[in-house]
Amino acid sequence: MPYIKDRDVIDEKLHPIVQYVAYEADQSKLAGELNYIITRLLKSAYFIPQDAKYVDYNEAIGILECAKLELFRAFVGPYEEKKRQENGDV
C-alpha cells in the first residue's frame, strides 16, 4: 500500500465505494465488481485512446503488480506464517 500522507481527501471520495464493497455487495459478484472498479479507475487515469502510449499501459500494470505484492506482504504472508506455526512446515 502506498503510505501516502494526505489520504483524507481520497478516503472521503472513496468512502461510498468502500461501504458498498464491505457491507452491501453480493459476495457472489464481488470479484467481478472489484475488477470493474479497478479497471475503471486505471482506465480513467491512463487509457485515453488518442493519447495512450506503451508507458501508460506499463505504468498501469506496474500499479497492479505493486498492489498485488503489497497485499501479499501485508496480509497473505502473515496469514501463511500463522498457519505454518499452527500446522507445521511443509
Domain residue ranges in the chain = 8-87
What pLDDT, on a 0 to 100 scale, did the predictor assign at position 1?
A: 61
Arithmetic mean of pLDDT, 23-48: 93
- Is pTM beyond 0.85? Reply is no
In sequence order, what DSSP letters do the residues of 21-41 get, joined into one string? IIIIS-TTTHHHHHHHHHHHH
pLDDT at residue 3 greater than cutoff 90: no
Q: How far apart (Å, rounded) are the C-alpha atoms in residues 48 and 84?
A: 46
Amino acid identity at 5: K
**Is it the case that residue 48 has pLDDT exceeding 90?**
no
Give the cell for residue 55: 508507458
What does the alpha-carbon distance between residue 43 and residue 48 come to, in Å, rounded to a whole number? 7
